[in-house]
Structure 1
Amino acid sequence: MAKQFPQIDAAHQKFIEEQHIFFVGTADTKSRVNISPKGMDSLRVLGPNRIIWMNLTGSGNETAGHLREVNRMTLMWCSFTARPLILRAYGTAQTIHAEDDDWTELAGHFPSHRSARQIYDLSVDMVQTSCGYAVPFMDYQSERDTMQKWVDKKSDDDIRAYWGEKNQHTIDGKPTGVPV
């Protein structure tokens, strides 16, 4: 049932853009595998082999830590509506911080968000689709406003202090490289 493709085609991109949630999978050579759900307006397909996504402040920062050692990443989308489909994009990624040369250009693809920690730039080397027959139907209601309410109560210095306290190391104790 699964089919592999060397790149993101127009139908894949349309499916990706219709989804309200995606999942990110990473691991370094000895750490736990991390799978994180992501939402909001935080992902762009820039071409047949390139995806960027803006990572907003969260309680952990596993992806950043893993990519410092092993730069492989998998993104996955599931259809929770009528069409049963799972789509994965496999590739290698680099981490871009606000201090990096590429930040301004890449950040310009997204709505401004004060809690943006990193942008990940994924070079896609394979796309795989599979059936998704066992994925349940679910109805999208809306985006959560919890992140924005948290950010609105914080200064920029408060957010960086949070990164210093909560986002410097993975759960396995490896550094994430987040500047504070």
Structure 2
Amino acid sequence: MRFHGQGTVYGRETQAFARYWPLFPDYLGARAVIHIQIDRISDSCGYGVPLYEYKGDRDTLTTWSRNKGTKGLADYRQQKNAQSIDALPGL
């Protein structure tokens, strides 16, 4: 499924982030909330998509973020996320 539309990024320092953030689990490493105005959805029949049973969320990112800590996350982002793979400014 693909969603088409326009998105707005709200960083942690914005009032919009504070308004929307309570709707999500509290992830230590969260940098922004992205609000998307969806204009169109593309999907397929799904005939070839296998069935699965949801077993739960993975804890890899949560554990990694907790081990890094707030300063470690900030340092990591400065080194690795200053720009996207398209050379756009990072979040």
Q: TM-score range by the shorter chain?
A: 0.7 to 0.9
Contact 2:10 2:17 survives alignment (8 Å)? yes
TM-score by length of 1: 0.46
Match in the other structure for 1:146: 60
Structure 1 unaligned residues grouped into runs of 5+: 1-75, 77-87
Report the Cα distance in structure 2 between the residues aligned to 1:128 and 1:160, rounded to whole angstroms. 36
Matched, 1:169 2:78: no
Report the Cα distance in structure 1 between the residues aligned to 2:87 and 2:41, rounded to whole angstroms. 32
- RMSD of aligned Cα (Å): 1.7
Whose strand proportion is higher, 1 or 2?
A: 1
Match in the other structure for 1:30: none
Identity of aligned residues (%): 30
Report the Cα distance in structure 2 between the residues aligned to 1:97 and 1:104, rounded to whole angstroms. 9
Report the Cα distance in structure 2 between the residues aligned to 1:130 and 1:173, rounded to whole angstroms. 32
Shift, 1:157, TM fit: 1.3
TM-score by length of 2: 0.84
- Indicate the SS of the match to 1:108: helix
Whose helix proportion is higher, 1 or 2?
A: 2
Report the Cα distance in structure 1 between the residues aligned to 2:29 and 2:49, rounded to whole angstroms. 32
Q: Which is bigger in relative contact order (C-alpha 8 A, separation at least 6)?
A: 2
Given the alignment, which residue of 125, 132, 142 partners 2:46? 132
Matched, 1:157 2:71: yes
